[in-house]
Protein backbone atom coordinates (compact mmCIF):
# COMPACT_ATOMS: atom_id res chain seq x y z
CA UNK A 1 0.00 0.00 0.00
CA UNK A 2 1.50 3.33 -1.02
CA UNK A 3 1.89 6.26 1.36
CA UNK A 4 -0.91 8.28 -0.21
CA UNK A 5 -3.41 5.44 0.18
CA UNK A 6 -2.36 4.77 3.78
CA UNK A 7 -2.73 8.45 4.61
CA UNK A 8 -6.19 8.77 3.01
CA UNK A 9 -7.47 5.55 4.62
CA UNK A 10 -6.29 6.78 8.04
CA UNK A 11 -7.97 10.16 7.55
CA UNK A 12 -11.26 8.54 6.52
CA UNK A 13 -11.11 6.23 9.54
CA UNK A 14 -10.28 9.10 11.90
CA UNK A 15 -13.24 11.06 10.58
CA UNK A 16 -15.61 8.11 11.06
CA UNK A 17 -14.38 7.67 14.64
CA UNK A 18 -14.97 11.35 15.45
CA UNK A 19 -18.57 11.58 16.62
CA UNK A 20 -18.44 15.24 17.68
CA UNK A 21 -17.53 17.25 14.55
CA UNK A 22 -20.43 15.98 12.36
CA UNK A 23 -17.96 15.91 9.46
CA UNK A 24 -18.63 12.96 7.16
CA UNK A 25 -16.48 11.52 4.36
CA UNK A 26 -17.69 8.84 1.93
CA UNK A 27 -16.15 7.11 -1.07
CA UNK A 28 -17.39 7.92 -4.56
CA UNK A 29 -17.55 4.80 -6.77
CA UNK A 30 -15.46 2.89 -4.21
CA UNK A 31 -12.41 5.04 -4.98
CA UNK A 32 -10.34 6.24 -2.00
CA UNK A 33 -9.11 9.12 -4.14
CA UNK A 34 -12.54 10.49 -5.09
CA UNK A 35 -14.58 11.32 -2.02
CA UNK A 36 -17.65 13.20 -0.89
CA UNK A 37 -17.45 15.25 2.28
CA UNK A 38 -20.36 16.81 4.12
CA UNK A 39 -20.93 19.00 7.15
CA UNK A 40 -23.76 20.94 8.82
CA UNK A 41 -24.18 24.66 8.26
CA UNK A 42 -22.77 26.71 11.17
CA UNK A 43 -25.19 27.85 13.86
CA UNK A 44 -26.10 31.53 13.86
CA UNK A 45 -25.57 31.89 10.10
CA UNK A 46 -27.95 31.81 7.10
CA UNK A 47 -26.62 28.28 6.47
CA UNK A 48 -27.80 26.88 9.82
CA UNK A 49 -29.91 23.74 9.49
CA UNK A 50 -28.55 22.81 6.07
CA UNK A 51 -26.24 19.95 5.15
CA UNK A 52 -23.53 20.84 2.63
CA UNK A 53 -21.80 18.32 0.38
CA UNK A 54 -18.34 18.79 -1.11
CA UNK A 55 -16.64 16.91 -3.96
CA UNK A 56 -13.08 15.90 -3.03
CA UNK A 57 -10.36 14.71 -5.41
CA UNK A 58 -7.04 13.52 -3.94
CA UNK A 59 -4.09 14.43 -6.23
CA UNK A 60 -1.24 11.99 -6.86
CA UNK A 61 1.24 13.97 -4.76
CA UNK A 62 -1.07 14.34 -1.73
CA UNK A 63 -0.40 15.45 1.01
CA UNK A 64 2.30 17.63 -0.55
CA UNK A 65 -0.23 19.06 -3.02
CA UNK A 66 -3.60 20.43 -1.87
CA UNK A 67 -6.78 18.43 -2.27
CA UNK A 68 -9.22 19.64 -4.92
CA UNK A 69 -12.57 20.57 -3.43
CA UNK A 70 -15.75 22.14 -4.76
CA UNK A 71 -19.25 22.35 -3.36
CA UNK A 72 -21.80 19.91 -4.72
CA UNK A 73 -24.56 21.68 -2.80
CA UNK A 74 -25.42 25.09 -4.25
CA UNK A 75 -24.36 27.82 -1.79
CA UNK A 76 -25.03 31.57 -1.88
CA UNK A 77 -21.71 32.97 -0.63
CA UNK A 78 -19.18 35.52 -1.95
CA UNK A 79 -16.30 33.01 -1.88
CA UNK A 80 -18.15 30.13 -3.54
CA UNK A 81 -19.26 30.10 -7.18
CA UNK A 82 -23.05 29.90 -7.31
CA UNK A 83 -22.71 28.25 -10.72
CA UNK A 84 -19.87 25.72 -10.35
CA UNK A 85 -19.27 25.34 -6.61
CA UNK A 86 -15.63 26.47 -7.00
CA UNK A 87 -14.13 27.77 -3.75
CA UNK A 88 -11.84 30.72 -3.06
CA UNK A 89 -9.86 29.68 0.03
CA UNK A 90 -6.11 30.09 0.54
CA UNK A 91 -5.48 26.63 2.04
CA UNK A 92 -6.80 25.04 -1.16
CA UNK A 93 -4.10 26.95 -3.05
CA UNK A 94 -0.78 28.45 -1.95
CA UNK A 95 -1.42 28.25 1.83
CA UNK A 96 -1.82 24.47 1.78
CA UNK A 97 0.34 22.48 4.22
CA UNK A 98 0.88 18.70 4.46
CA UNK A 99 -0.17 18.88 8.12
CA UNK A 100 -3.72 19.72 7.02
CA UNK A 101 -6.16 16.84 6.77
CA UNK A 102 -9.41 16.20 4.93
CA UNK A 103 -11.34 16.80 8.13
CA UNK A 104 -9.51 20.02 9.05
CA UNK A 105 -9.98 21.32 5.50
CA UNK A 106 -13.72 20.60 5.60
CA UNK A 107 -13.89 22.37 8.98
CA UNK A 108 -12.18 25.35 7.31
CA UNK A 109 -14.91 25.34 4.65
CA UNK A 110 -17.49 25.28 7.42
CA UNK A 111 -15.74 28.29 8.99
CA UNK A 112 -15.73 30.07 5.62
CA UNK A 113 -19.53 30.02 5.72
CA UNK A 114 -19.29 31.98 9.00
CA UNK A 115 -16.86 34.58 7.67
CA UNK A 116 -17.39 35.68 4.07
CA UNK A 117 -14.57 37.66 2.45
CA UNK A 118 -16.34 39.85 -0.15
CA UNK A 119 -13.10 41.68 -1.02
CA UNK A 120 -11.60 38.44 -2.38
CA UNK A 121 -14.65 36.91 -4.06
CA UNK A 122 -15.15 33.79 -6.12
CA UNK A 123 -18.60 35.05 -7.14
CA UNK A 124 -18.49 38.79 -7.84
CA UNK A 125 -22.28 39.20 -8.13
CA UNK A 126 -22.88 37.61 -4.74
CA UNK A 127 -20.10 39.72 -3.22
CA UNK A 128 -21.77 42.89 -4.54
CA UNK A 129 -25.06 41.77 -2.98
CA UNK A 130 -23.28 41.19 0.35
CA UNK A 131 -21.64 44.63 0.39
CA UNK A 132 -24.78 46.45 -0.83
CA UNK A 133 -27.29 44.94 1.57
CA UNK A 134 -26.11 42.35 4.09
CA UNK A 135 -29.65 41.75 5.36
CA UNK A 136 -30.93 41.01 1.85
CA UNK A 137 -27.89 38.81 1.18
CA UNK A 138 -28.56 36.79 4.34
CA UNK A 139 -32.20 36.35 3.42
CA UNK A 140 -31.18 35.01 0.00
CA UNK A 141 -28.48 32.74 1.49
CA UNK A 142 -31.03 31.39 3.97
CA UNK A 143 -33.47 30.72 1.13
CA UNK A 144 -30.80 28.85 -0.86
CA UNK A 145 -30.06 26.80 2.26
CA UNK A 146 -33.73 25.87 2.46
CA UNK A 147 -34.01 25.02 -1.25
CA UNK A 148 -30.69 23.27 -1.86
CA UNK A 149 -29.35 22.11 1.54
CA UNK A 150 -32.52 20.97 3.30
CA UNK A 151 -32.62 23.96 5.65
CA UNK A 152 -35.71 24.65 7.76
CA UNK A 153 -38.43 27.26 7.47
CA UNK A 154 -39.48 29.58 4.69
CA UNK A 155 -38.46 33.02 3.54
CA UNK A 156 -39.68 35.43 6.18
CA UNK A 157 -42.62 37.58 5.17
CA UNK A 158 -42.92 36.01 1.73
CA UNK A 159 -45.79 34.04 0.25
CA UNK A 160 -44.70 30.51 -0.78
CA UNK A 161 -47.92 29.98 -2.75
CA UNK A 162 -46.44 31.95 -5.65
CA UNK A 163 -44.63 28.78 -6.74
CA UNK A 164 -41.73 28.88 -9.16
CA UNK A 165 -42.18 32.61 -9.84
CA UNK A 166 -41.48 33.32 -6.19
CA UNK A 167 -38.60 30.83 -6.23
CA UNK A 168 -36.85 32.40 -9.21
CA UNK A 169 -37.05 35.88 -7.73
CA UNK A 170 -36.01 34.76 -4.24
CA UNK A 171 -33.12 32.67 -5.54
CA UNK A 172 -31.84 35.72 -7.46
CA UNK A 173 -31.99 37.78 -4.26
CA UNK A 174 -34.42 40.31 -5.72
CA UNK A 175 -37.66 41.94 -4.58
CA UNK A 176 -40.85 40.79 -6.28
CA UNK A 177 -42.17 44.36 -6.61
CA UNK A 178 -39.07 45.40 -8.58
CA UNK A 179 -39.33 42.48 -10.98
CA UNK A 180 -43.04 43.05 -11.56
CA UNK A 181 -42.53 46.74 -12.30
CA UNK A 182 -40.42 45.99 -15.36
CA UNK A 183 -42.37 42.89 -16.29
CA UNK A 184 -45.49 45.10 -16.47
CA UNK A 185 -43.71 47.13 -19.15
CA UNK A 186 -43.87 44.03 -21.34
CA UNK A 187 -40.47 42.48 -20.70
CA UNK A 188 -39.96 38.75 -20.17
CA UNK A 189 -39.74 37.80 -16.48
CA UNK A 190 -36.55 35.76 -16.86
CA UNK A 191 -34.85 38.61 -18.74
CA UNK A 192 -35.90 41.08 -16.02
CA UNK A 193 -34.51 38.81 -13.29
CA UNK A 194 -31.24 38.37 -15.16
CA UNK A 195 -30.77 42.11 -15.78
CA UNK A 196 -31.69 43.20 -12.24
CA UNK A 197 -29.37 40.58 -10.78
CA UNK A 198 -26.45 41.71 -12.96
CA UNK A 199 -27.10 45.37 -12.10
CA UNK A 200 -27.21 44.47 -8.38
CA UNK A 201 -30.67 46.09 -8.15
CA UNK A 202 -30.86 45.77 -4.38
CA UNK A 203 -30.86 47.87 -1.22
CA UNK A 204 -29.45 51.38 -1.55
CA UNK A 205 -28.36 50.62 -5.13
CA UNK A 206 -31.97 50.80 -6.33
CA UNK A 207 -32.01 54.57 -5.88
CA UNK A 208 -28.77 54.87 -7.87
CA UNK A 209 -29.98 52.94 -10.95
CA UNK A 210 -32.48 54.76 -13.15
CA UNK A 211 -35.40 53.02 -14.84
CA UNK A 212 -33.94 54.16 -18.18
CA UNK A 213 -30.70 52.28 -17.40
CA UNK A 214 -32.65 49.11 -16.62
CA UNK A 215 -34.77 49.41 -19.77
CA UNK A 216 -31.62 50.03 -21.83
CA UNK A 217 -30.19 46.74 -20.55
CA UNK A 218 -33.48 44.93 -21.13
CA UNK A 219 -33.55 46.07 -24.76
CA UNK A 220 -30.10 44.65 -25.54
- Name the residues annotated as catalytic: 88
Contacts 24+ apart (CB under 8 A), 130-136: 130/78, 132/200, 132/202, 132/203, 132/204, 132/205, 133/202, 133/203, 133/204, 133/205, 136/173, 136/202, 136/203
- Report which of 160, 142, 162 is spatially closest to residue 152, judged by C-alpha positions: 142
Q: Quote the distance between the C-alpha of residue 148 and its chain's center.
A: 10
Starting at the edge strand found earlier in the chain, the sheet holding 68-71 runs 24-28, 31-40, 51-57, 68-71
Neighbours of 191 (CB within 10 A): 15
Q: Is 28 helix (H, G, I), strand (E, B) or coil?
A: strand
Amino acid sequence: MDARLRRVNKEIADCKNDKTSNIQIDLVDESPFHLKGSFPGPEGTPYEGGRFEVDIVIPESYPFQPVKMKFITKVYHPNISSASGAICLDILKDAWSPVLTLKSTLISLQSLLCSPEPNDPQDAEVAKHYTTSKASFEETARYWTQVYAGGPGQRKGKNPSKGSVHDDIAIAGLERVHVERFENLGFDRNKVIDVLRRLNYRGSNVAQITDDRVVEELLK
